[in-house]
A and B are shown apart, each in its own frame.
Chain A
């Protein structure tokens, strides 16, 4: 089991996304003519002591790269998601829905919202793939 967050966990999520038929099907047009990468800013709390950044480079339904950083550096992602570790944890566990978190403003999502709306099925599939494998968590 990988620890969330860690590079090992990033590798597991990348593998899960790339093997998920829904991600492949609904994401086939994602990021082809626009920057489809996501930068997740996970803020401290619930066992996480400092902010972590997870960057997922996604194109055409495939995750090309998924990396963890201490600082976002020069990355200018197509989509920027901010949320606390305490709010991300139930999503990673599959207990809470990511989109519901966005609607409730637990997560701030910045980027071309037209693309998000047009690809809502892909966003849902991508979020579902995050809970398709078992993990360990900080603070538990």
Chain B
């Protein structure tokens, strides 16, 4: 897979035309000004410089360049339950820059299709063990004081195809069940001041209004700490795939707990044990017993450049290049990232860069002079809660290979002498 940003694009686009132009130019004009090897793109004015562009009233809701059409979410039949309704579309994280995911590329996971909710008929009901039950329309909800926070959302099944062995050789399908956005809404505690929680209330059922009527139990401690109800992502209304018009946001916790199309919050004295916290989203260990209510997404990282989708095939031995990646932790803030070139035997510190925020994607960087020899490139993040990303052996020794969820073991790329990058596991 060659990167086509360079001269290959030019030759494909106008090879014959440029040859003809060169021949004419070479004969009629000063030959010395157009030697073989001159880039015709630099010599000739391109067509877009010689005519009007599109009018500003074309595409009033803007679209990406048509040349970027390969940067999309993607699906795989094996990652669905028989159809594309209870399924997931993976985020192309190999093509993302910075820590914000464009709304059209945000990974999309639903359990009964993407509900199409009429905002005029939207209601949020809060009831159960509260002093004063409350119903809010969308307009009423939006009158509460707003906050904006940058947080990732990750499905706990992200990376689950790797429990036994590596199966995908593309970053999008290895880690694309996550994305990150700036979310705007109000802290739940702002609404609950008026509602009043009864002392015996310990748990909350959050329920969505989609086909699956997604229900999940949350402890009241999280609700009062940093949970929000949000109606905007990256400055605009939530996309339907993200629960338009309103979703719950529980920063750092399982994507599934960030209930979309939020309809109801019921306070109670016991947890509910909904289908998605018993039948699914539980971690079966080799003891035959399963861990339940595993809420946080643990510390994690992956090198995004290079990766199988963005190889080093254009590099020459001796080139200085930036190794870049993403680190994140639902337990807190990324403190640092270590990087290894020998499959995890020896580690050295990488740099963090840009915004370093709680429960957010964080970029890391390392400048590297590649000698053109094969390497095993790994990253390992640690956070301010005291947790370090485990090796595959450490994780599997503890929870086995059948948990499906919460896989955060170190990712390793095998970079070959020709610059190809392959997903490998380092395991005993």
Do A and B truly interact?
A: no
